[in-house]
């Protein structure tokens, strides 16, 4: 790359406006933001054509920092707002930044229906396994038996497998990676934005200050190392027996298929109806 | 759906504001429609009003008794290149129309009580972010599921106070099929002009009622569209405070890379915790309504000139009241009717005048006292005994005879 | 002329709301003022159902019929419920297939087994609404017969126009031949 990475990031940030950011030291959100910007910078997309939409939560504060069209919406509803934007101006690249609570608890319904419609949105779900902004309450991805402020005796609920959920709902592009694998995040984001259909990327991330302390995960470097040591690329995982994959994060593009995209189908419908004679 | 148009890299040339000018492209599409007198349903009139006002985006979820609006727009919007999308629920519907509006659409949704309750948070978001959109609520009997096919006026207060926090409201209330058409256009126009979520309240009976109506030619329909910014992108302020609280509005994809948030924000749209900026934002939301009461409030005054008794009623109940006025006048009783077409902001001035001019005020309504509450707020030093309340919540209409006989008992 | 108030009543699925719309459209063709309202349960079939049509040359304020100039009752329940709101000298038309008892004797009562006639002459009870509506139009003269015909043609699906026009014609004939 011709440009120094740091400079690219600063070109794409509202660096003179809303800094310093709200994220804690050691948080993965900034790493993921860097990967997203590097992915976009290499894609030759007009910045005016990018819309970043988010809900409520730590990761959902991301849009305010980036110099795109940005929309910070209600808790859980980012995908519904994004659907409106995309349907009205299908040429815009609409990227949704969401978290585990935002997307799979309060916003679960919108996520599965957007996946079912296969509308061309790129949903980047930054999964830190906890409600960080409000101080550590359990989310649908808080692991079984993990500690949260609303699960002080250990979480008795089973957790969601976010990628399985998206695939079950019909998402045409599903991938998982971690904040440790920054180049992989960058590459997958690029592939997802290019994919003509609903794309969901789960980025496993670290919340050392809240989740890490509650569950004694050993601070930011240790949590990043854990992502490295506990994850297996899909290509390697396919060759391993199931017992070796117990507790491992499987990384990579888990599904990529071409299906009719919603905005394209709607455009076809409009064409068909107008060919029938427009006014009744 | 909009095709991609190349955005200009340089500052757009200053142009005159485009508001309050009929949309010529739409006019061409519409003139071909026959404008003869037809038997039309209230919900149908809402749908055609939306189209004539230039609505090009509808997202909704089916619910009795509003579904016809969605069904007609599902049929009509694709013909005009507009978007119809059935969402997974009413929450998604209000969010989708707000998103579409931020991308430049004139958008609308339609629902009824249960869906209207679900939309409240999204309505508040549209208000704080000053995003134009219209919510049509065809009221049915509540609370909860209530009586889906029966008539009530239970959301008069909810439409004002339903969303949390202090936020302004513009709520319109038609009483005939023709007015359903007219006030839908007005709702869309006001949403565009005042940059807010405008609510149109219908009574179930009106939504489903059919009347002989003849819609005006498009040439006679006044369409208002949001004012677009004429400044270069780096000068653009999404909530410019130097514009009498009504400022130009850019859309996503036009080169103005602005930020929108449901958090309390400064004039650029960025979140703020500063007390001065928070106060400024709240002032702006309030004053853009209160400074424009005369533009917003519409009221019908029927036989009020010499009236000693006034009936104050809205929607379908005002139709019964008008019949009651006619019947009472035959008997020589000096009765008149005051009917708000805009219920929020409430027509305080007209009601104060009414309270000064008449001896008795009759307030019939299909709820347990939502309109009369506002009258009582304005009565102040005068005795409450002048108010005759007629309230019904069993799904049946209040008839002209009901009003007439109750009024006579109270005289 | 003051308002002419008509109530078409029966149960859900008998096509009374469609009959009300057709009557309303016929009145529009006659260049009259008209309102049409309805009341029905949440279900598509069964339950009670009614359609009100008010026709006038003046502005119609209250759109619901309160004192009927004409009442059509296709079920016993509807007849029992609404009979007492029939105006003095108002016209009562009942379907004796289902209405077996009359709580009071109205002066202008027309009794015919409309549903049975529809099954026998038209092969199905589905056109009972149009059959009885045509009968009502002929008896009351509230809209022009030609307007009713045009309204039916414009309101029902193309495949059913012939059947419904046949039902209309039969309704007119039954009214012409009716002996009180």
Supply the ipTM of this predicted assembly.
Answer: 0.96
* Residue B45, min C-alpha distance to chain C (Å): 14
**Which of B220, B249, B272 is where one domain is finished?**
B220
Task: Provide the 3-class DSSP secondary structure of residue A185.
Answer: helix
Residues 6+ apart with CB under 8 A from B10: B232
- Asked if B61 has any chain A CB less than 8 Å from its own CB, the reply is no
Q: What is the pLDDT of residues A73-89, one digit of tens each?
A: 999 999 999 999 999 99
Q: Do the bridges between strand B197-203 and strand B360-365 make them parallel or antiparallel, or are there none, so unpaired?
A: unpaired
B38 and B148 assigned to the same domain: yes
Among B205, B212, B399, the residue with its CB nearest the CB of C28 is B212
Judged by CB atoms within 8 Å, which residues 161-220 of B form the interface with A? none
Residue B98: give its domain's CATH number: 3.40.50.970
pLDDT at res. A16: 72
Q: Is the pLDDT of residue B10 over 90?
A: no
Q: Is the pLDDT of residue B25 over 70?
A: no
Average pLDDT over every residue of B215-233: 93
pLDDT at res. B5: 58
- Asked if B104 has any chain A CB less than 8 Å from its own CB, the reply is yes
Average pLDDT over every residue of C159-176: 97
Judged by CB atoms within 8 Å, which residues 20-49 of B form the interface with A? 29, 32-33
Residues 6+ apart with CB under 8 A from A190: A39, A40, A42, A43
Share of chain C above pLDDT 70, in %: 96
- Which residues face A126 on adjacent strands? A99, A203
Interface with chain A: mutation pick from B27, B126, B249, B253, highest number of A CBs within 10 Å: B253
Residue pair B258/B238 in contact by the 8 Å Cβ criterion: yes
Is the CB of C36 less than 8 angstroms away from the CB of B326?
Answer: no
Residue pair B137/B116 in contact by the 8 Å Cβ criterion: yes
- Asked if B211 has any chain C CB less than 8 Å from its own CB, the reply is yes
- Asked if C161 has any chain B CB less than 8 Å from its own CB, the reply is no
Task: Provide the 3-class DSSP secondary structure of residue A24.
Answer: coil
Average pLDDT over every residue of C75-97: 94
Tell me which of A2-16, B125-139, C2-16 is least confident: A2-16
Task: Provide the 3-class DSSP secondary structure of residue A29.
Answer: helix
Which residues of chain B does A73 touch, with a Cβ-Cβ cutoff of 8 Å?
Answer: 95, 125, 262
List the one residue out of B400, B407, B352, B358 whose CA is nearest residue B380. B352
Among B39, B205, B212, the residue with its CB nearest the CB of C37 is B205
Q: Is residue B246 part of a domain?
A: no
Residue whose structure tokens are 């049915």: B140
Task: Provide the 3-class DSSP secondary structure of residue B249.
Answer: coil
Interface with chain B: mutation pick from C56, C58, C62, C152, highest number of B CBs within 10 Å: C62
**A279's tokens:** 């006014």
Task: Provide the 3-class DSSP secondary structure of residue B206.
Answer: helix
**B7's tokens:** 């955005």
Q: Is the pLDDT of residue B14 over 60?
A: no
Is the CB of C61 less than 8 angstroms away from the CB of B208?
Answer: no
* Residue A177, min C-alpha distance to chain B (Å): 29
Sign of the torsion formed by the C-alpha atoms of B84, B86, B89 and B92: negative
Cα gap B12→B105, rounded to integer Å = 20
Residue pair A65/A14 in contact by the 8 Å Cβ criterion: yes
Is the CB of C42 less than 8 angstroms away from the CB of B205?
Answer: no
Tell me which of A78-82, A93-97, B21-25, C1-5 is least confident: B21-25
Is the CB of B149 less than 8 angstroms away from the CB of C42?
Answer: yes
- Number of residues that this document lists for chain C: 180
Q: In B139-274, which ranges are continuous DSSP H helix? A: 158-161, 177-194, 204-208
* Three-class secondary structure assignment of chain C: CCCEEEEEEEECCCCHHHHHHHHHHHHHHCCCEEEEEEEECCCCCCCEEEEEEEEECCCCCCCCCCCEEEEEECCHHHHHHHHHHEEEEEEEEEECCCCCCCCCCCCEEEEECHHHHHHHHHCCHHHHHHHHHHHHHHHHCCCCHHHHHHHHHHHCCHHHHHHHHHHHHHHHHHHHHCCC
Residue pair C69/C6 in contact by the 8 Å Cβ criterion: yes
The band of A7, judged by pLDDT with boundaries at 50, 70 and 90, is confident
* Residue A278, min C-alpha distance to chain B (Å): 5
pTM: 0.94
The alpha carbon torsion through B55, B59, B60, B65 (nearest 10 deg) reads 10
Q: Is residue B280 part of a domain?
A: no
Interface with chain B: mutation pick from C23, C41, C61, highest number of B CBs within 10 Å: C61
Among A53, A70, A270, the residue with its CB nearest the CB of B78 is A270
Is the CB of C66 less than 8 angstroms away from the CB of B399?
Answer: yes
- Asked if B316 has any chain C CB less than 8 Å from its own CB, the reply is yes
Q: Is the pLDDT of residue C16 over 90?
A: yes
Average pLDDT over every residue of A189-214: 97
Among B75, B87, B271, the residue with its CB nearest the CB of A64 is B271
Task: For chain B, list the contacting chains (3+ Cβ pairs, <8 Å).
Answer: A, C
Which residues of chain A does B85 touch, with a Cβ-Cβ cutoff of 8 Å?
Answer: 83, 87, 266
Nearest residue on chain C to B145, judged by CA atoms?
Answer: C42
B211: domain range? 24-220
Residue C75: give its domain's CATH number: 3.40.920.10
> Hey, how many other C-beta atoms are within 10 angstroms of the C-beta on B291?
13
Average pLDDT over every residue of C6-11: 96
The residue that leads in pLDDT, C43 or B332, is: B332
Which residues of chain B does C64 touch, with a Cβ-Cβ cutoff of 8 Å?
Answer: 205, 397, 399
Number of domains in chain C: 1
Residue whose structure tokens are 């005795």: B383
Cα gap A2→B290, rounded to integer Å = 56
Q: Is the pLDDT of residue B31 over 50?
A: no
Judged by CB atoms within 8 Å, which residues 245-274 of A form the interface with B? 263, 266-267, 269-270, 273-274
pLDDT at res. C113: 97
**Which of B220, B253, B273 is where one domain is finished?**
B220
Instruction: Give the N- to C-terminal CA distance of chain C in Å, as an integer.
Output: 27
Residue whose structure tokens are 């109806």: A273
- Which residues face C36 on adjacent strands? B210, C53
Cα gap C122→A40, rounded to integer Å = 70
The band of B379, judged by pLDDT with boundaries at 50, 70 and 90, is confident
List the one residue out of B123, B92, B71 whose CA is nearest residue A116. B92
* Residue C178, min C-alpha distance to chain B (Å): 32
Share of chain B above pLDDT 70, in %: 91
B292: region left, alpha or beta (phi > 0 left; psi from -120 to 50 alpha): alpha
Task: Provide the 3-class DSSP secondary structure of residue A166.
Answer: helix
Mean residue pLDDT of chain B comes to 91
pLDDT at res. B2: 78
Among C28, C38, C61, the residue with its CB nearest the CB of B208 is C38
Q: What is the pLDDT of residues A241-265, one digit of tens each?
A: 999 999 999 999 999 999 999 999 9
Task: For chain A, list the contacting chains (3+ Cβ pairs, <8 Å).
Answer: B
Q: Is residue B391 part of a domain?
A: yes
Q: What is the pLDDT of residues B61-101, one digit of tens each?
A: 999 999 999 999 999 999 999 999 999 999 999 999 999 99
Q: Is the pLDDT of residue B383 over 70?
A: no
Q: Is the pLDDT of residue A226 over 90?
A: yes
Q: Is the pLDDT of residue A160 over 70?
A: yes
* Residue C42, min C-alpha distance to chain B (Å): 6
> What class has domain A5-275?
alpha beta
- Asked if A68 has any chain B CB less than 8 Å from its own CB, the reply is yes
Which residues of chain B does C41 touch, with a Cβ-Cβ cutoff of 8 Å?
Answer: 149
Residue pair B201/B156 in contact by the 8 Å Cβ criterion: yes
Mean residue pLDDT of chain C comes to 93
Residues 6+ apart with CB under 8 A from B218: B22, B26, B27, B30, B31, B52
**A57's tokens:** 């939560």
> Hey, how many other C-beta atoms are within 10 angstroms of the C-beta on C166?
16
Task: For chain C, list the contacting chains (3+ Cβ pairs, <8 Å).
Answer: B
Q: Is residue B355 part of a domain?
A: yes
- Number of residues that this document lists for chain B: 411
Cα gap B357→B342, rounded to integer Å = 21
List the one residue out of A32, A42, A51, A54 whose CA is nearest residue A11. A42
Is the CB of B212 less than 8 angstroms away from the CB of C39?
Answer: no
Q: Is the pLDDT of residue B26 over 60?
A: no
Cα gap B266→B273, rounded to integer Å = 9
B35 and B138 assigned to the same domain: yes
Nearest residue on chain B to A264, judged by CA atoms?
Answer: B1
Is the CB of B96 less than 8 angstroms away from the CB of A49?
Answer: no
Q: How far from C106 is each of C71, C72, C112, CA to CA, in Å?
A: 11, 13, 15
Q: Is residue B64 part of a domain?
A: yes
Cα gap B41→C51, rounded to integer Å = 14
Residues 6+ apart with CB under 8 A from B298: B172, B340, B341, B342
- Asked if C146 has any chain B CB less than 8 Å from its own CB, the reply is no
* Residue B170, min C-alpha distance to chain C (Å): 26
pLDDT at res. B34: 55
Cα gap A77→A81, rounded to integer Å = 6
- Asked if B252 has any chain A CB less than 8 Å from its own CB, the reply is yes
Nearest residue on chain B to A279, judged by CA atoms?
Answer: B79
* Residue B323, min C-alpha distance to chain C (Å): 5
Residue pair B2/A89 in contact by the 8 Å Cβ criterion: yes
Residue pair B153/B365 in contact by the 8 Å Cβ criterion: yes
Q: Is residue B265 part of a domain?
A: no
Domain boundaries of chain A, sorted by first residue: 5-275
When computed from its CA atoms, the radius of gyration of chain B, rounded to whole angstroms, is 22
B200 and B316 assigned to the same domain: no
Average pLDDT over every residue of A272-279: 81
Task: Provide the 3-class DSSP secondary structure of residue B151.
Answer: strand
- Which residues face C94 on adjacent strands? C73, C111
Nearest residue on chain A to B106, judged by CA atoms?
Answer: A88
- Number of C-alpha atoms within 13 angstroms, CB side, residue C179? 0
Q: Is the pLDDT of residue B28 over 90?
A: no
- Asked if B368 has any chain A CB less than 8 Å from its own CB, the reply is no
**C69's tokens:** 């100039």
H/E stretch holding B89:
none
Residues 6+ apart with CB under 8 A from C10: C16, C48, C49, C50, C72, C73, C74, C75, C78, C95
pLDDT at res. B336: 98
Is the CB of C61 less than 8 angstroms away from the CB of B39?
Answer: no
Average pLDDT over every residue of B48-69: 97
Q: Is residue B327 part of a domain?
A: yes
B147 and B33 assigned to the same domain: yes
C92: domain range? 4-177
Which residues of chain B does C38 touch, with a Cβ-Cβ cutoff of 8 Å?
Answer: 208
Judged by CB atoms within 8 Å, which residues 116-175 of A form the interface with B? none
Q: Is residue B136 part of a domain?
A: yes
Cα gap B108→B70, rounded to integer Å = 10
List the one residue out of A68, A77, A71, A65 whose CA is nearest residue A53. A71
């Amino acid at each position: 790359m011709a440009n120094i990475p740091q400079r690219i990031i600063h070109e794409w940030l509202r660096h003179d406006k809303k800094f310093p950011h709200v994220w804690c030291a050691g948080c993965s959100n900034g790493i993921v933001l860097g990967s997203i910007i590097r992915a976009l910078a290499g894609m030759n997309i007009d910045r005016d054509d990018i819309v970043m939409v988010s809900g409520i939560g730590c990761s959902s504060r991301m849009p305010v920092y980036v110099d795109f069209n940005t929309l910070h919406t209600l808790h859980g509803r980012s995908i519904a707002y994004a659907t409106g934007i995309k349907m009205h101006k299908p040429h815009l690249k609409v990227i949704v930044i969401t978290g585990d609570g935002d997307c799979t608890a309060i916003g679960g319904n919108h996520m599965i229906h957007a996946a079912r419609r296969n509308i061309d949105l790129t949903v980047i779900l930054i999964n830190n396994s906890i409600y960080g902004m409000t101080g550590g309450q359990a989310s649908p991805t808080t692991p079984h038996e993990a500690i949260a402020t609303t699960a002080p005796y250990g979480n008795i609920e089973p957790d969601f497998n976010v990628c399985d959920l998206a695939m079950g709902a019909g998402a045409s592009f599903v991938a998982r990676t971690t904040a440790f694998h920054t180049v992989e995040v960058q590459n997958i984001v690029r592939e997802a934005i290019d994919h003509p259909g609903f794309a969901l990327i789960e980025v496993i991330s670290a919340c050392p200050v809240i989740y890490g302390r509650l569950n004694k995960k050993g601070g930011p470097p240790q949590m990043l190392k854990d992502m490295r040591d506990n994850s297996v690329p899909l290509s390697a995982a396919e060759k391993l027996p199931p017992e070796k994959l117990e507790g491992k994060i499987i990384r990579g593009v888990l599904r990529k298929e071409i299906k009719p995209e919603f905005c394209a189908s709607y455009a076809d419908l409009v064409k068909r109806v107008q060919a029938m004679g427009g006014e009744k | 759906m909009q095709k991609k148009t190349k955005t200009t890299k340089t500052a757009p040339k200053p142009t005159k504001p485009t508001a309050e000018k009929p949309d010529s492209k739409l006019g061409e599409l519409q003139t071909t429609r026959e404008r003869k007198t037809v038997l039309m349903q209230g919900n149908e009139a809402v749908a055609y009003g939306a189209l004539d006002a230039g609505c090009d985006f509808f997202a909704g979820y089916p619910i009795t008794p509003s579904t016809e609006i969605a069904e007609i727009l599902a049929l009509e919007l694709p013909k005009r290149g507009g978007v119809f999308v059935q969402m997974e629920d009413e929450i998604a519907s209000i969010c989708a129309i707000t998103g579409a509006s931020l991308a430049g659409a004139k958008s609308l949704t339609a629902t009824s009580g249960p869906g209207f309750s679900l939309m409240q948070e999204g309505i508040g978001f549209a208000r704080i972010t000053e995003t134009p959109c219209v919510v049509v609520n065809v009221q049915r009997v509540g609370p909860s599921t209530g009586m889906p096919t029966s008539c009530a006026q239970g959301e008069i207060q909810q439409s004002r106070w339903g969303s949390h926090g202090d936020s302004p409201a513009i709520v319109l209330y038609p009483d005939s099929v023709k007015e359903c058409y007219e006030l839908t256009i007005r709702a869309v126009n006001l949403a565009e002009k005042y940059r807010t979520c405008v609510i149109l309240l219908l009574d179930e009976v009106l939504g489903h009622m059919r009347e002989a109506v003849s819609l005006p030619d498009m040439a006679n329909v006044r369409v208002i569209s949001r004012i677009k910014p004429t400044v270069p992108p780096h000068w653009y302020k999404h909530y410019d405070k130097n514009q009498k609280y009504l400022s130009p509005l850019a859309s996503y994809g036009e080169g103005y890379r602005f930020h929108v948030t449901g958090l309390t924000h400064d004039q650029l749209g960025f979140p703020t915790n500063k007390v001065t900026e928070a106060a400024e934002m709240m002032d702006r939301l309030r004053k853009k309504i209160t400074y424009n009461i005369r533009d917003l409030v519409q009221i019908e005054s029927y036989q009020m000139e010499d009236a000693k008794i006034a009936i104050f009623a809205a929607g379908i109940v005002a139709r019964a009241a008008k019949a009651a006025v006619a019947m009472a006048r035959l008997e020589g009783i000096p009765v008149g009717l005051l009917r708000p077409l805009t219920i929020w902001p409430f027509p305080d001035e007209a009601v104060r005048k009414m309270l000064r001019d008449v001896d008795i005020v009759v307030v019939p309504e299909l709820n347990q006292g939502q309109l009369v509450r506002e009258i009582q707020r304005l009565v102040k030093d005068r005795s409450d005994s002048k108010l005759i309340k007629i309230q019904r919540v069993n799904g049946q209409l209040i008839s002209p005879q009901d009003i007439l006989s109750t009024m006579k008992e109270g005289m | 002329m003051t308002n002419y108030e008509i109530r078409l009543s029966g149960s859900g699925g008998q096509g009374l709301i469609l009959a009300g719309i057709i009557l309303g459209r016929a009145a529009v063709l006659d260049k009259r003022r008209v309102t049409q309202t309805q009341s029905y349960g949440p279900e598509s079939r069964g339950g009670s159902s009614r359609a009100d049509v008010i026709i006038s040359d003046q502005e119609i304020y209250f759109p619901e019929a309160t004192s009927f100039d004409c009442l059509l009752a296709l079920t016993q329940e509807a007849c029992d419920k609404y009979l007492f709101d029939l105006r003095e000298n108002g016209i009562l038309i009942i379907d004796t297939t289902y209405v077996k008892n009359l709580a009071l004797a109205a002066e202008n009562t027309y009794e015919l087994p409309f549903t049975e006639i529809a099954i026998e002459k038209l092969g199905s009870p589905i056109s009972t609404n149009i059959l009885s509506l045509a009968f009502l139009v002929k008896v009351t003269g509230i809209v022009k017969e030609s307007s009713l015909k045009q309204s039916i043609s414009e309101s029902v699906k193309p495949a059913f126009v012939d059947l419904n026009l046949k039902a209309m014609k039969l309704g007119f004939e039954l009214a012409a031949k009716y002996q009180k």
